[in-house]
Copies of this chain bind each other. A is one copy, B any other.
Amino acid sequence: MTKSNPGNFFEDFRLGQTIRHATPRTITSGDVSLYTALTGARHALFSSDEFAKAAGLPRAPVDPLVVFHVVFGKTVPDISLNAVANLGYAEGRFLEPVYPGDTLRAESEVIGLKENSNKKTGVVHVRTRGINQHGAAVLDYVRWVMVNKRDEKAQIAEATPKLAAAVAASDLWISDRLDFARYDWDLGGSRHAFEDYAAGEWIDHVDGMTVEEAEHQIATRLYQNTAKVHFDAVMQAGSRFGKRLIYGGVVISLARALSFNGLENAALMLGINAGRHVAPLFAGDTVYAASEVLDKADLGRVGALRLRLVAAKNKPLPNAAAAKNAVGEYDPAVILDFDYWAAIPKR
């Protein structure tokens, strides 16, 4: 009997169970460099210690998406090794900022279990928390996945959690230190402030980024995400896609980096409302992105934009509203529909 981890099947989970995930991770400036090099991220707040100090922070914080991917990666061996599909995210909040040198670990609580009618799979909801070396939460989010059952006859207690459609603006967490009074718009990359964005507005991010196998593998390993579908070409040759799948988090990060062009000052992601990986991305594909402003909230010291980040492959979406047609179907090029909150300076 080998000692390697077979992963949890649907019936291995229990409502209320808490799982402490393996491999805590000290985040370093090396991780930040790699993230920049793998995505093209350009937000001044995460790129420059001086810029961050001018905004009241001790140094440049780590891009919240790095935090998300690292925390997510830790959960994979326990939650989604036998997953058929990653179904969604909700109620994501970025809390204490993470700086190079901080050490993150992750815990998940099982908050939902629901068998599918075919009895071969079930849906598992977990609330995952990223926690730093001081015990403070840095991230809190719900995700749900469809997981294989080992035994069709297995039965366990079930429940489906109630999830908010979006994080309420009043629940967004902003560091008390953050202060954009001395914000340098030139260094930020544009003059566009909170006041300049309107709900319903679409922004075409113009640029495209072609992804190579080496790039998504390097990124996904950086996050210590071990899902085989991203790495094993021999196994994947026998899958329905016939090739390696790119980790959805890579898609989110590429689309978000592209969105700099038009959302330069909306650096700080505050919350994740929802996210759907509409179609898979493969090496050789080119990612394009557009954003829709869904909502705005004045948080006092800063503004917040609720943004819908839509990514497409191999075809720009010039009229981004075309991402869905009249009957709610996505354009076949669409790969991601991601709903989040970001802070932005007021003028």
A: residues with CB less than 8 A from B are: 2-5, 20-26, 28-34, 36-40, 42-44, 47-51, 60, 77, 100-101, 103, 105, 133, 186-190, 192, 196, 202-210, 212-215, 217-219, 221-222, 224, 226, 228, 231-235, 244, 261-264, 284, 286, 314-315
Whether B30 contacts A34 by the Cβ 8 Å rule is: yes
CB neighbours (8 Å) of A314 from chain B are: 234
Whether B190 contacts A207 by the Cβ 8 Å rule is: no
User: In the complex, what's the smallest C-beta–C-beta distance from A286 to chain B, in angstroms?
Assistant: 4
Of B215, B235, B284, the residue contacting A217 (CB under 8 A) is: B215
- Distance between Cα atoms of A24 and B185 in the complex (Å): 12
CB neighbours (8 Å) of A43 from chain B are: 23
Whether B34 contacts A34 by the Cβ 8 Å rule is: yes
| Chain multiplicity (copies) | 3
CB neighbours (8 Å) of A47 from chain B are: 23-26, 224
Q: List 26 A-B contacts (CB under 8 A).
A: A2-B206, A3-B190, A4-B261, A21-B186, A22-B44, A22-B187, A23-B43, A23-B48, A28-B29, A28-B33, A30-B32, A37-B219, A40-B221, A40-B231, A42-B226, A49-B101, A51-B103, A207-B226, A207-B231, A210-B213, A210-B217, A210-B231, A210-B234, A210-B244, A214-B215, A233-B284
Whether B42 contacts A22 by the Cβ 8 Å rule is: yes
Whether A22 contacts B210 by the Cβ 8 Å rule is: no
Whether B26 contacts A186 by the Cβ 8 Å rule is: no
- Distance between Cα atoms of A315 and B221 in the complex (Å): 22
Of B28, B213, B221, the residue contacting A32 (CB under 8 A) is: B28
User: In the complex, what's the smallest C-beta–C-beta distance from A172 to chain B, in angstroms?
Assistant: 23
- Distance between Cα atoms of A133 and B187 in the complex (Å): 13
Whether B226 contacts A188 by the Cβ 8 Å rule is: no
CB neighbours (8 Å) of A39 from chain B are: 221
- Distance between Cα atoms of A190 and B186 in the complex (Å): 46
Interface centre among A39, A49, A204 (most CB of B within 10 A): A49
Q: Which residue of B lies closest to A54 (CB)?
A: B24
Given A2-B203, A48-B105, A226-B261, 6 more contacts at CB 8 Å? Answer: A26-B50, A37-B218, A42-B224, A208-B234, A209-B231, A234-B315
CB neighbours (8 Å) of A133 from chain B are: 49-50
Whether A224 contacts B36 by the Cβ 8 Å rule is: yes
- Distance between Cα atoms of A100 and B314 in the complex (Å): 38
CB neighbours (8 Å) of A101 from chain B are: 49
User: In the complex, what's the smallest C-beta–C-beta distance from A137 to chain B, in angstroms?
Assistant: 16
- Distance between Cα atoms of A40 and B221 in the complex (Å): 5
